Amino acid sequence: MQDTRGQQVLRVLVVDDEPLARERLHSMLQQTSGVTVSGAAGNGEEAIALARESLPDLVLLDIAMPGGDGLDVARELAGLRPRPGIVFVTAHAEHAAAAFDVEAIDYLVKPVRRERLEIALQRARLFLATRGSFASDGGRGHLLVRQRGGVRRIAIDEVTYLQADDKYVMVHHAHGHDLIEDSLKSLEEAFPDRFLRIHRNCLVARKALEGLRRDGEGQYRVLLRGIAEPLEISRRCLPTVRSAIEQD
């Protein structure tokens, strides 16, 4: 959804166990262009339920509250797709390090100043610009990598393989490797003609397939052009990989 100026509207969920704090944030957000409040919650359980229902772009999240503290809530929300951005809003400045351990976009200390809130919203927009990170450009796909201070594109043609790494995907490409936040499943569905699954945690570029190798224990591995170390193939994926190599 866009506002009258064509700007993407940021949908924000406010979570705080103090009614006055919720109302103050709500009021500040209502007076901010390009922002709409999708809901408000007073504890962790309500926050998770509302987030699953409304799928906000951003959650302004208190840390110390009943029903699961903000850090626990943030860990739970990290599993949502699309994943919302998290900005912690709390009176407890000593929690800042722990907040960034759960990959918060920003950390605001109460009482929140309008100028500081607007900076956090700008950072949230940068996060959202790369949350769904595959884009089309004249028929050539790209992956977008979110970096401090900006966004960088990786052409799909330059990607050799993608490997799941905890909550992220490591993209191995012609110029090195980078982490992105998209799931392997979403990438596989977005680029079925480009990538082939060889394992539950790995997709390879079809054009990079070079051959198969069987080790001393009978485990097959795939050889990729430009990659020194062969990659493991699951038994389930082996027939499909072998067929793709034979058809090349």
Place of tokens 């028929």: 139
Least confidently predicted of 56-70, 123-137, 152-166, 214-228: 123-137
pLDDT-based confidence at residue 26 (cuts at 50, 70, 90): very high
Inter-residue contact 97 to 114 (CB < 8 Å): no
The mean per-residue pLDDT over the stretch 209-227 comes to 92
Least confidently predicted of 27-31, 48-52, 83-87, 234-238: 83-87
Among positive and negative, which fits the CA dihedral 215, 176, 224, 192? positive
User: What residues contact 100, with CB distance under 8 A and at least 6 apart?
Assistant: 107
Inter-residue contact 61 to 74 (CB < 8 Å): yes
For the chain, percent of residues with pLDDT exceeding 70: 83
Please tell me whether the peptide bond between 192 and the residue prior to it is cis, using omega within 30 degrees of 0. Answer: no
Ordered by start, the domain boundaries in the chain are: 10-129, 158-247
Inter-residue contact 23 to 50 (CB < 8 Å): no
Check residue 131 and give its pLDDT: 61
Inter-residue contact 237 to 243 (CB < 8 Å): no
pLDDT at 119 over 60: yes
User: Could you tell me the fold of the domain covering 158-247?
Assistant: OB fold (Dihydrolipoamide Acetyltransferase, E2P) (2.40.50)
Of the two residues 221 and 132, the one the predictor is more confident about is 221
CA distance 129 to 219: 41
Tens digits of residue pLDDT in 154-187: 888 899 999 997 778 899 999 899 888 778 888 8
The helix/strand count (H/E) of the chain reads as 7, 16
Q: What is the pTM of this model?
A: 0.56
How would you list the strands of the sheet with 85-90, edge to edge?
35-41, 10-15, 58-61, 85-90, 106-109
pLDDT-based confidence at residue 96 (cuts at 50, 70, 90): low
Look at domain 10-129 and name its CATH class: alpha beta
C-alpha pair distances (Å), 95 with each of 64, 70, 75, 101, 116: 10, 10, 15, 10, 18
